Amino acid sequence: MHPDHHYDAIIIGAGPAGLTAGIYLSRARLKTLILTEGMAGGQLILTHEIANYPGVESVSGYQLANIMKKQAKSFGCEIKTNTISKKLDLSGAVKSVTLANGDTFTSHALILSPGGRPRNLNVPGEDRFKGRGISYCATCDGDFFTGKEITVVGGGNSALEEAVSLTRYASKVTIVHQFNHFQAYRHAVEEAQNNPRIDFMMESTIVEFYGKENLEGVKIKNINKGTIRQYKTDGVFIFIGYVPNTEFLDGLIEKNAMGEIQVSSQMETNVPGVFAAGDSVVKKYRQVTTAISDGTIAALSATEYINRIKQKTSRQILTSIS
């Protein structure tokens, strides 16, 4: 093991769960490394406004993520961004992570918090018009549609909340949802329904995107009648959930049929010394606060695990000396 590349704990992923775990582990004076493919913050940095974070009236996702990152670094946590984990070895007492550039890092404990990515509709034209009229991030692309008419797909909290935020830019927002009711909290539904710039197209689904260089419209199917009509729109924002970023863990740890990591109440996976937290684990609710809870539990569990290993190693050294 290269001494400069060995840590007490390595965290893969720097969303709210990973950053929280980094804060707790490094504050416990454990040498901690966070590896993340993109920027620190994960999906959090794409959220326009967070108004239900306890103790904070309102904050942007980017601001909250930046605070978490600064906290972790202030306690000594090392964060490496824009890294891609190519190979993991979880078989022994010492875990190893090899990056795409060939660097290998080792640790006693590993916390997996790779998060998720936006779910696609997977209909014709979607891949073609990504970034050319189709978006999955209101914060990133909302201002490109100032004064234009746009469409939002989805019926959960994210879809309705982001639809409301998009009315700051768009002249009209039409929400397309496959059911006759929403899966969001009442306050989110009421806020959307009371917004004069928002219309609703219920029991409907987009079956195709069309246009020339850029998106010009969509084909919408009425689920009850089976009829399909063309609907002109300047842009489409898709908020239908996330897919866990766990493909790189195939064959290494236990996952469910949806690719979510199976964990115990202590955030333990089926591999000793490997823990998981955040949107990539099996759970019902996915919020910033639940990710932070996961990260806290995973870090505390990992701390106990690391301390047991260090105590065992110390006893073995003393026994060999005596």
Tens of pLDDT along the chain (322 residues) come to 566 789 999 999 999 999 999 999 999 999 999 999 988 988 888 777 787 889 888 888 889 999 999 999 999 999 999 998 889 999 989 999 999 999 999 999 999 999 988 899 999 999 999 989 999 888 778 889 999 999 999 999 989 999 999 999 999 999 999 999 999 999 999 999 999 999 999 999 999 999 999 999 999 999 999 999 999 999 999 999 889 999 999 999 999 999 999 999 999 999 999 999 999 999 988 889 999 999 999 999 999 999 998 887 766 655 665 5
Considering the candidates 89, 103, 127, 140, report the single residue annotated as catalytic: 140
CATH 3.50.50.60 in the chain is located at 3-117+242-321, 120-238
CA dihedral 246, 250, 251, 253 (to 10 degrees): 0
Specify whether the CB–CB gap between 129 and 233 falls below 8 A: no
Annotated catalytic residue, options 141, 234, 279, 294: 141
**77: annotated active-site residue:** no
pTM, two decimal places: 0.81
Query: Are 40 and 69 spatial neighbours (Cβ–Cβ below 8 Å)?
Result: yes
CB atoms within 10 A of CB 49: 16
Report the CATH superfamily, name and number, of domain 3-117+242-321: FAD/NAD(P)-binding domain (3.50.50.60)
Q: What is the CATH number of domain 120-238?
A: 3.50.50.60
User: Is 140 tagged catalytic?
Assistant: yes
